[in-house]
Structure 1
Amino acid sequence: MTENISTYEEFEKLVSKLSPYDFEKLVTDIFESLDSIESVIGESKIKDRQVDLIATEKGKNIANKPVKWIIEIKKYKSLINIGVIDQFYSKATYLNIPNSKLLLITSSSLTKSAKVFAENREIEVWGLKELAEKITQEIAIRYFTQIVARQLREKTKLETKEDNLISSLGNIKPGKTDWSLYQQTVFDILEYLFCPPLEIPHYELADLDSRNRRDIIFGNDSEDTFWKSIREIYQGHYIVVDAKNYSKKLAKRPIVDITHYLKPYGCGMFGIIDCRMGSGGASDHAIKEQWIGNKKMIVVLSDEDLVEMLQLKKNGNNPVEIIKRKIAIFRMTL
């Protein structure tokens, strides 16, 4: 422990109150404060893959060029398994960034097999101990202050969070004019409903020829029973979500569009479409075709479903029951 944090327990307590997004931000701030680091780039997209952080060291070390650290950041309560390490290594190998080293930063620890896997592939691992040794008092105070302020806000708003989201959803007019507002509201609702255990979602950029508009992507490394089953049965390592601010029921085309993202070697084979009025006959048929022919599972949620999920959350129940029910009905009626 350095003089910057009085006790390791205090730092551990600080991190425990941070969301996965805030934990990433904390790590970014720590790296930007290090004298040995020249530049830090957060959430870069390279070759269609997302990188949490790239930190370039000062000086020249590898092949007379600066070392670039490719950094994966995971805020988990459970142990990091070998699958997470393998995904990180595969992504870094695919990116093939010159003069780079790999660094995994986690609030948790690794399983024995994951540790061996990381060591064999020269992946450095930092836990909270290593971060605590590097955080400055200024950064620590800033985050403690943010947490206290957030707790005060949540204390006054907690009882109305679901009602506020339901009200926001109801105030959006269907159609092209408010499509962006609808997408952002769906983003906010699903983040509130599913994070944790899912990772904080990101907007995915359009592909190179801009044929596919960006979607909402949730990372799914969860050990929660439902989301683990989505990962194991439907290869849902990522949950792809598209939001359609239509005034009519969903047609066939959006089903076909979202399938472009659903690949076993990419995001996986599970997707969600949020559409104001829900699914129509043509989209229902397309969903069956995709499941039977390609093993791609697509769930359509209406505004009514989102409201029911928020009400479940408000009453202390699990909102994923709605998705679970829809999948069960779909498969039992085939």
Structure 2
Amino acid sequence: MRITFELISGQQFERLCILLLQAEGFDTTEWDLPSHQDRGFDLLASPPASSELWAVECLRTENLSALRRAASDLNAAQRLSGTSGSMLITSAALSPKTKSELTHLNALSKIWDKNDLETIFNRHPRVRHAYTSLLTSIEEIDLLLPPRPSRTAKGRELKDRLSNLPTGKEHWKEYENLGVEILSWVFSPYLRTPRIQSWSEDELDRRDAIFPIKKGNDFWDNIHAHHRARMVVAEFKNSGDELNQVDVESLAQYLYPNAMRPFGLLCGRVAASKSARKARRRTWQASGGLIVLLFDDDLKELIDRKDRNEDPTEVIDIQLDEFFLELAP
């Protein structure tokens, strides 16, 4: 059974997770205690035939940055609460690499993602029937309501162009132009019209987009105040490979605190490698240059937040929280 969680609320997703946990033999008798509120987890549960007590967080999101923050918060909450384990349940479909990374970096006992939830649904027809009945009710209610406003044509267009754009050097200029267009649209009016600087480096064309920061947005005002940044430097890599150390160092050499441009956005098509993250840490420690790593899923999340009239800077803020929490000498 293929499932979707887009139509249900976060609270409904949490209650659905409780049903699935119970169906799998977990004891969740303490799930609704008020003392668990604002503690970094949703409920306490004991695994089947075990005396252990786990802190469990149920998160309906497709955003990887939000998942990383939740996993980090859950790890801290588990240690604070004194429970013997922790479990993250998410509506996102995770790759084996991402699932393993989240588990080991945050000492999680278990993760259920969308693929796991589909398998568990098929083992428990009563829960599956309850869920399909809920979806049917939502659809019937929607038929009685006025049509929901569709996402903006601009947002759909940008996401479609990004999805359809091939990787590779022959399309690098298209990707840079599209990246500048996405950042300009998403962060307008607080990132002003960018200045495009071009030069040749190692016989390869390279362009940076430099966005002056306009006052009036809490996030960009904080970047200006805390990091003395009057400008944001963006660079775009249209490679089909992960962002790597060389990509980070390429942008880092143009971040210059004395020119009030210590803040950079490095955009690539695929998530960053371990070497890229290490190079980003070295850049911060050596020169105070702060680099945010964005790939296709992050850019699409920025567009979605803009469409929903939500603050798109939350995507960057989550990543910065993660970076500084993990930073060590």
- Using the size of structure 1 for normalisation, the TM-score is 0.51
- Work out the CA distance in 2 between the residues paired with 1:175 and 1:225: 36
Q: Is the 8 A contact 2:189 2:214 kept in 1?
A: no
- Work out the CA distance in 1 between the residues paired with 2:241 and 2:202: 28
- Work out the CA distance in 2 between the residues paired with 1:289 and 1:215: 21
Structure 2: unaligned runs, 5 residues or longer: 1-149
Match of 1:228 in 2: 221
Instruction: Tell me, yes or no, if structure 1 residue 240 matches structure 2 residue 249.
Output: no
Indicate which of 199, 206, 213 corresponds to 2:199: 206
Q: Tell me which amino acid in the other structure corresponds to 1:169.
A: L
- Work out the CA distance in 2 between the residues paired with 1:176 and 1:313: 29
Q: Is the 8 A contact 1:261 1:267 kept in 2?
A: no
Q: Mapping of 1:144-183 within 5 angstroms? A: 159-183=152-176
SS at match of 1:284: helix
- Work out the CA distance in 2 between the residues paired with 1:186 and 1:195: 14
Q: Is the 8 A contact 1:250 1:283 kept in 2?
A: yes
Match of 1:302 in 2: 295
- Work out the CA distance in 1 between the residues paired with 2:173 and 2:204: 17
SS at match of 1:265: helix
Instruction: Report the number of matched residues.
Output: 179
Indicate which of 250, 261, 264 corresponds to 1:271: 264
Using the TM superposition, give the Cα deviation of residue 211 of structure 1 relative to its aligned residue in structure 2, in angstroms: 8.1
Using the TM superposition, give the Cα deviation of residue 265 of structure 1 relative to its aligned residue in structure 2, in angstroms: 2.1
Q: Tell me which amino acid in the other structure corresponds to 1:220.
A: I
Structure 1, residues 140-196: CA drift from partner, whole Å, max 9, x if none? xxxxxxxxxxxxxxxxx9821101100000111011111110111101100100120
Q: Tell me which amino acid in the other structure corresponds to 1:205.
A: S
Q: Is the 8 A contact 1:237 1:267 kept in 2?
A: yes
Q: Is the 8 A contact 1:249 1:279 kept in 2?
A: yes
Q: Tell me which amino acid in the other structure corresponds to 1:170.
A: S
Structure 1, residues 86-131: CA drift from partner, whole Å, max 9, x if none? xxxxxxxxxxxxxxxxxxxxxxxxxxxxxxxxxxxxxxxxxxxxxx
SS at match of 2:247: helix
Using the TM superposition, give the Cα deviation of residue 242 of structure 1 relative to its aligned residue in structure 2, in angstroms: 0.2
Instruction: Tell me, yes or no, if structure 1 residue 215 matches structure 2 residue 197.
Output: no
Indicate which of 294, 312, 325 corresponds to 2:318: 325
- Work out the CA distance in 1 between the residues paired with 2:320 and 2:179: 20
Structure 1, residues 247-274: CA drift from partner, whole Å, max 9, x if none? 0111101111111211122252110100
Indicate the percent of aligned positions where both proteins have the same amino acid.
27
Q: Is the 8 A contact 1:239 1:270 kept in 2?
A: yes
Q: What's the RMSD between the two structures over aligned residues? A: 2.3
Q: Tell me which amino acid in the other structure corresponds to 1:281.
A: K
Using the TM superposition, give the Cα deviation of residue 293 of structure 1 relative to its aligned residue in structure 2, in angstroms: 2.1
Structure 1, residues 51-104: CA drift from partner, whole Å, max 9, x if none? xxxxxxxxxxxxxxxxxxxxxxxxxxxxxxxxxxxxxxxxxxxxxxxxxxxxxx
- Work out the CA distance in 2 between the residues paired with 1:208 and 1:248: 20
Q: Tell me which amino acid in the other structure corresponds to 2:278.
A: H
Structure 1: unaligned runs, 5 residues or longer: 1-156
Using the TM superposition, give the Cα deviation of residue 236 of structure 1 relative to its aligned residue in structure 2, in angstroms: 1.7
- Work out the CA distance in 1 between the residues paired with 2:202 and 2:173: 21
Structure 1, residues 26-65: CA drift from partner, whole Å, max 9, x if none? xxxxxxxxxxxxxxxxxxxxxxxxxxxxxxxxxxxxxxxx
- Using the size of structure 2 for normalisation, the TM-score is 0.51
Q: Which moved more, 1:258-267 or 1:281-290?
A: 258-267
